[in-house]
Amino acid sequence: ELATALNNRGHVKYLRVEFDAAVEDYTAAIECQPGFEVPYYNRGLVLYRLGCFDEAMRDFRKVLELNPQFEDAALSLKQTILDKEEKQKRGY
């Protein structure tokens, strides 16, 4: 299935620290199969690492909308919120 292949290719790029390319593949997987929660989660992880907290939170929330039992997404969302608040407290 194309969405799974795109997600997997994105993961390889993520592991190679090719974050922009990974985001492109995850986004393509989402466009191919919008109900597939895994590429939203993976894209959220990359966005979090890039410091794009609002976008990461949006992806983690979408994962939980599609699959409320996705515990890693719930934990990642919580951590992203905490890190965003910490960043705002420090003024950067």
Architecture of domain 1-90: Alpha Horseshoe (1.25)
Closest CA to 92 of 44, 51, 46: 51
Domain boundaries, the chain: 1-90
* Model pLDDT for residues 38-84, shown as the tens digit of each residue: 999 999 999 999 999 999 999 999 999 999 999 999 999 999 999 99
pTM of the model: 0.94
